[in-house]
């Protein structure tokens, strides 16, 4: 009997401790239980996330954003990696830091515009990059080949070779002032972002490149957006984001994009000739002053200040001091319009320059040359 009493005494302490622990656990669970909230939701028949709500641009973004790429530069080429690093099975046994430790820096954005992998971006984005690394929205990466560049329009064409590339659709009708637009790019290198605004103006001259015909928008464009897409509300490309007007470095509601008509023309010439071919006269001029205009009784014109030796203008007999008043009978309003008229002509094309010299008008026949390539 005494032995039984001793055994029961020995069991009493652990049993009591176990009961105390169980009771404490039940008390804590009851104390920490999540309270049931009463919330209100609309019936599924009244609201469906599969249908965009009014004012949403999700379908446009879904169509356009996959074709907008981030552009980086790297001091080393991924092509120099050991082939084993591309094998998913063996890569786990190798040093992955070989990829992670590479020095890369964000440069800007680009837009895939062909199934062959052609990418439109800005010349200033890739001009000084020793290696150009393109990253897609789905995370895929590739080294891009430089196809060509045109500093005078601030456009460049790259190419990547990858399967199943998303391609940005091109708008077939021009957008109008007041239309909603979306800017898609990689601002400040934070990752792909979308901003919305309106098309504020067209035909803007900002003094940023030789050949400009900018679309102006108040959609936020920040450093890193350069080379990205400006789209309409259908997700169609209408421009390549290029620059902003800013006093502090950030967006102030004045952004500029190169229209697709100009961008696609430049790209086609780069693909065909390796560069952009433009007409050339070989002159420099200045606006006609009011006094000279009154003296010559000529309302518009361009006084020639320089004629380059052996240029088409020199060979045609043009001299410094001549006043260029017409090209092929079309009045010269200002130097910019005259330059655009000449550069739009094909090299070898014959044209007639009307100049005022010593108070008399002379008509000079000239054969358009090839504009030297800007560096």
DSSP for 67-124 reads GEEEEEEESS-GGGS-GGGG-TTTGGGS-THHHHT--EEEEEEEEE-STT-EEEE-HH
Q: At the topology level of CATH, where does 279-370 sit? A: Pdz3 Domain (2.30.42)
CATH 2.40.10.10 assigned to domain 180-273? The reply is: yes
H or E segment to which residue 30 belongs: helix 2-32
Where b means 16+ CB within 10 Å and e means fewer, 145-162 reads: eebbbbbbbbbbbbbbee
Contact residues for 205 (Cβ-Cβ < 8 A; gap 6+): 212, 214, 336
Active site residues: 124, 154, 226
Higher-confidence position of 143 and 23: 143
Summarised one tens digit per residue, pLDDT across range 165-215 is 999 999 998 899 999 999 999 887 788 899 999 999 988 876 667 777 889
CATH number of 58-159: 2.40.10.10
What band does 223 get if pLDDT is binned at 50, 70 and 90?
confident
Give the integer Cα–Cα distance in Å for 160 and 126: 14
The string of pLDDT tens digits covering residues 292-308 is 777 777 888 888 999 99
Task: From 152, 170, 65, select the one nearest 114 (Cα to Cα).
Answer: 170
Higher pLDDT, 149 or 79: 149
Residue 20, pLDDT score: 60
Residue that the structure tokens 């790259």 belong to: 158
Partnered with residue 71 across adjacent β-strands are 108, 134
Lowest mean pLDDT segment, chosen from 109-113, 121-125, 284-288, 291-295: 291-295
132, 71 contact by CB (below 8 A):
yes
The three-class DSSP label of residue 251 is coil
Reported as a single tens digit per residue, the pLDDT across 280-339 is: 999 988 888 777 777 777 888 888 999 999 999 999 999 999 999 899 988 888 777 888
User: Is there a shared CATH topology between the 180-273 domain and the 279-370 domain?
Assistant: no
Ordered by start, the domain boundaries in the chain are 58-159, 180-273, 279-370
Secondary structure element (H or E) that encloses residue 141, with its range: strand 141-143
DSSP helix/strand/coil, 313: helix
Q: Is there a contact between 78 and 123 (Cβ–Cβ < 8 Å)?
A: no
Supply the mean pLDDT for the chain.
81
Structure-model confidence comparison of residues 221 and 46, the more confident one: 221
């Amino acid at each position: 009997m005494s032995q039984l009493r001793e055994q029961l005494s020995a069991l009493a302490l652990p049993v009591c401790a176990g009961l105390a622990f169980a009771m404490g656990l039940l008390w804590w669970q009851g104390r920490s239980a999540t309270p049931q909230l009463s919330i209100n939701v609309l019936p599924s028949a009244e609201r469906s996330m599969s249908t965009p709500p009014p004012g949403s641009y999700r379908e446009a973004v879904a169509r356009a954003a996959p074709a907008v790429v981030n552009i980086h530069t790297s001091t080393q080429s991924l092509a120099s990696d050991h082939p084993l690093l591309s094998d998913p099975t063996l890569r786990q046994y190798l040093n992955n830091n070989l990829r992670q430790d590479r020095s890369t820096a964000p440069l800007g954005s680009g837009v895939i515009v062909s199934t062959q992998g052609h990418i439109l971006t800005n010349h200033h984005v890739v001009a000084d990059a020793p290696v150009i690394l393109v990253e897609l929205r789905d995370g895929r990466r590739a080294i891009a080949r430089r196809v060509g560049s045109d500093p005078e329009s601030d456009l460049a064409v790259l190419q990547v070779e990858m399967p199943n590339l998303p391609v940005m659709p091109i708008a077939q009708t021009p957008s109008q002032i007041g239309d909603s637009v979306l800017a898609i790019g990689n601002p400040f290198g934070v990752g792909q972002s979308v901003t919305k605004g309106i098309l504020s103006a067209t035909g803007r001259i900002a003094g940023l490149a030789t050949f400009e015909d900018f679309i102006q928008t108040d959609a936020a464009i920040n450093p890193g957006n350069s080379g990205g897409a400006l789209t309409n509300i259908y997700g169609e490309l209408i421009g390549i984001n290029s620059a902003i007007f800013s006093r502090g470095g950030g967006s102030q509601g004045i952004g500029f994009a190169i229209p697709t008509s100009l961008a696609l023309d430049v790209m086609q010439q780069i693909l065909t000739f390796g560069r952009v071919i433009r007409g050339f006269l070989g002159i420099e001029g200045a606006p006609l002053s009011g006094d000279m205009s009154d003296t010559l009784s000529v309302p518009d014109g361009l006084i020639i200040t320089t004629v380059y030796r052996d240029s088409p203008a020199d060979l045609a007999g043009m001299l410094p001091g001549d006043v260029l008043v017409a090209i092929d009978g079309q009045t010269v309003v200002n130097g910019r319009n005259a330059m655009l008229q000449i550069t739009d002509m094909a090299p070898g094309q014959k044209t007639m320059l009307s100049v005022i010299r010593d108070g008399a008008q002379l008509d000079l026949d000239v054969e358009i040359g090839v504009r030297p390539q800007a560096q």
